[in-house]
Each structure stands twice: as C-alpha cells, then as structure tokens.
Amino acid sequence: MDAPAPKPPGTLPRFSATFDPHTISEIRRAAATGIYDIRGFGAKRKLPHFDDLLFLGASISRYPLEGYRERCGTEVVLGTRFAKKPVELKTPVTIAGMSFGALSAQAKEALGRGASTVGTSTTTGDGGMTPEERGHSSILVYQVLPSRYGMNPDDLRKADAIEIVVGQGAKPGGGGMLLGQKISPRVAAMRNLPEGIDQRSACRHPDWTGPDDLEIKIEEIREITDWQKPIYVKVGASRPYYDTALAVKSGADVVVLDGMQGGTAATQEVFIEHVGIPILAAIRPAVQALQDLGMHRKVQLIVSGGIRNGADVAKALALGADAVAIGTAALIALGDNAPELEAEYEALGTVAGAYDDWHEGRDPAGITTQDPVLAARLDPIKAGRRLANYLAVLTLETQTIARACGKSHVHNLEPEDLVALTVEAAAMAGVPLAGTNWVPGR
C-alpha cells in the first residue's frame, strides 16, 4: 500500500489589515447591540506623535550644561496678559481638567495632593469644585464648561485661575454623557439633576456663540473676579491657528490646546479616533498664530494630549508651548490600569493596560468610579505621592534634555533643537527630517 501523499504546504491564516481582529469584533458588537461603543481614554491608534521627533543635543557647535550642577529653570508664569494675580508654577507640567463625577472624590483629592507637592496646578471639571479638591490643591484652575454643572460664583472666586472650555481633544465639537450608574446622590446634588439618570453635558455654551460673544463673556468673568485671575480658553485641536488667534482676540490670558490623544471619561469610540488632530500637528500652527499676533510668550500656551514622559514635555516646549497638561498619565500614576488588578480587569472583560470603560463606574482601582466601596480602595495620600513622584520625574527628564541642549531654562528649548524621524512629523512640527535640512512645505 502506498504511503499517503504528503500534505502540501499551506499558508498561515491571514488577517486583513483593513478588517483586523479589532475591527471585526467591533462590527460584531455593533451588530449585536445596535449602539455605538462608548469608552474612556483617548485615541488608541498609532498617530504621528512626539516619538517621531529627536533632540540633537549639544556638540562642537553647541555647549551643554552640566547635569546635576548647573541650574536649568523650570518655573512658568501663566496669565501675565491681564490678570492681577498670574499663576506661578514650579514645573511646566500641570494637571488637566477632570470632573468629580467622572472621578471619585479620592482621586480628585489625590490629584490635588500630588500637584501641590511639586508646585503645580490641578483643574476641576464638569460638575464643579469639591471641598476635597480645593482643600488639597494649592493652585486650582476652575473650569467654566457648557453644561455649567455646579457653576458657582463663590467657587469662581476661590479659584486661582479660570478655564473656559470650548472643547477637548478627544471630542472637538462634542458634548459628554455621564451615565446613570455614576450619578451618586452627591454628584446629582452638585449638578441639580435626579440620581441615576444619564446626564448630558452640552456641546455649546448656553449664553455665548462665537468669538465676539466670547470676548464679552471673558469680560464678565473678569468683572466678577475683579480682574484678579488668569482666564484660560481651552480648545480641542482641530483648527489650531484660527482657534488660537480667536482666543487671543477674545482676551484669553492662556490658550489650552488639547490634541486627539487627550483623554475623556466617556465618548463614542468613533469620535475619539476620527475627530480632531494629533497634538504634534497642532502646536506649530498655534504658536504661529501667537507669533503673527505678537503674543507668543505674552499669551501662554498649554498643550496636552498624550504627554507621557519628560521627552514629550521637552518637545512640546521646544515647539513653542509654555507648559503641558497631563490627564491620562496622571490617572495611571494614581494607579489606573495597574497590573496588580489583572484578575479584576479580566472579570470586566479586559486586561490591565487596556481598561477604558471609565464611564461604567466599575473601576477596580477606585479612580473612575462613584461606587463608595471601590472608591475607598484608593488611598489619596499614597496615590498623591505616586503622582508627585511621577511629576518630579517628568520635570527632571525635561531638565536633562534641556541641559543636553545647552539651555539654562526649559523655555529656551526651540525648534532648532529638534529633527524629525518621518516626513509627516517633519511637516507637522516644522523641523527638518533627520540628517537633512529639508522641512516639507518650505
């Protein structure tokens, strides 16, 4: 009897690059439920980012500063244009606005503790200011959002700065939704709404439309606070040149520019991944607008969206920003997505590092929840210490790079210190492709 013919070699199963496993799972989920996917976090897909830039460092033609010895300043003053009391920070890394409601009171307290330890600011969010947050934040920025949940003139006066939020990077042009499971009695009372219902955060401000109105709105807030406090205007990165110019025209002291990698508590996946532009692409147009108006360094620029380490901070500053803000990274420093909680993440159908259902209120880390049992897991003192450590590292790393480029202050970093690894990044950042003097478009 003849031996069976050998099986011919076959090809491995091949997944489509277009219909990849995640895409297929999303189609199946949508088909099963009839509703779009909502999640937290920011854009997760690969985007042009600060990783696509490199610092050149000092050499024969540039003179470095001695690490651990020669001073490299990190302080930043925000709100020097009109405010009688500008905000003075010891580090150019601030904490972005995140709401009580989206976050537990413990998490808000921890953010305040961590930021205060290193001399930087934290920011309220939709839902108003909590005593825990004010009490533990030496410098607190109070957001004025379209919903005006919890808006209170007493809190306005307690704030160190005021941020009018026009949009955020994860969803420029979009409002928000805090799902009913996170509407505890306290959250409901702060927002003047019933417990347990889904709460819509408006996408438009109720009492102004357009830059001419915004100018009058800013004047009103200045009058209420007797022109004491800096007023920031925050926009999601989409048309950064014009939005920055209009914010300046409207009288902003500070422009906050949030790229599409910026986090959100709850937004449609399709919105997060497909609306807005990466922060890398947004900084130079915003800086150009400030320069064209003669306002660069007079109106300060804070950028956010995917800042993870001191290199990102240094690159943002080199491109012309005055400071950065972190949100997602701050939550991770507090303990979000910690590997120690792997079993609990798996019980939620995910894994540590990928957990993004922040809107569901079941966060085992006790951060993105209003469940009192879960929230009690987060020790605000320990979590605040972790955040302070992380902020200190960001600052040290930024200084390390600045010194290597010969800068005695982190604000002395400049585009000339940078090159790009890709043509796209070179075009977006307006710096040469590495090894060439070619800046696409110039």
Name the segment binding other proteins (CB under 8 A); options: 42-50, 72-80, 212-220, 395-403.
212-220
Binding other proteins (rule: CB under 8 A), the pick from 200, 274, 297, 382 is 200
What are residue 301's DSSP bridge partners? 255
Cβ proximity to other proteins: between 20 and 213 the closer is 213
Nearer to other proteins, 65 or 202 (CB): 202
Select 181 or 350, whichever has its Cβ closest to other proteins: 181
Q: Are strands 176-178 and 199-201 parallel, antiparallel or unpaired?
A: antiparallel
Q: Which one of the spans 18-26, 224-232, 333-341, 350-358 is the region binding other proteins (CB under 8 A)?
A: 224-232
Assigned token pair, 267:
């937004």
Which one among 3, 5, 35, 60 touches other proteins, defined by CB under 8 A? 35
Tell me how far, at minimum, the Cβ of 36 lies from other proteins, in Å.
9
Q: Around Cβ 17, how many Cβ atoms within 10 Å? A: 7
Alpha carbon distance 67, 70 (integer Å): 6
Q: How many CA atoms lie within 13 A of 215 on its CB side?
A: 8
Contact between 2 and other proteins per CB under 8 A: no
Cα(420)–Cα(442) distance, integer angstroms: 15
Amino acid found at 175: G
**Considering only residues 7, 223, 294, 373, which one is a binding residue for other proteins as defined by CB under 8 A?**
223
Alpha carbons within 13 angstroms on the beta-carbon side of residue 178 total 27
**DSSP label at 364?**
T
Q: Interaction with other proteins in 128-167: which residues (CB under 8 A)?
A: 147-148, 151-154, 156-157
Our CB check for other proteins shows the closer of 158 and 297 to be 158
Contact 361, 372 (CB under 8 A): no
* Least CB distance to other proteins at residue 216 (A): 5
In the complex, least distance from residue 210 CB atom to other proteins, rounded to whole angstroms? 11
Print the binding letters for residues 180-199 with other proteins: x by CB under 8 A, - otherwise: x----------xxxx--xx-
| Distance, CA of 104 to CA of 81 (rounded, Å) | 35
CB atoms within 10 A of CB 161: 25
Residue 164 identity (one-letter amino acid): I
> Which residues of this chain interact with other proteins, rule CB under 8 A?
33-35, 147-148, 151-154, 156-157, 177, 179-180, 191-194, 197-198, 200, 202, 206-208, 213, 216-217, 219-220, 223-227
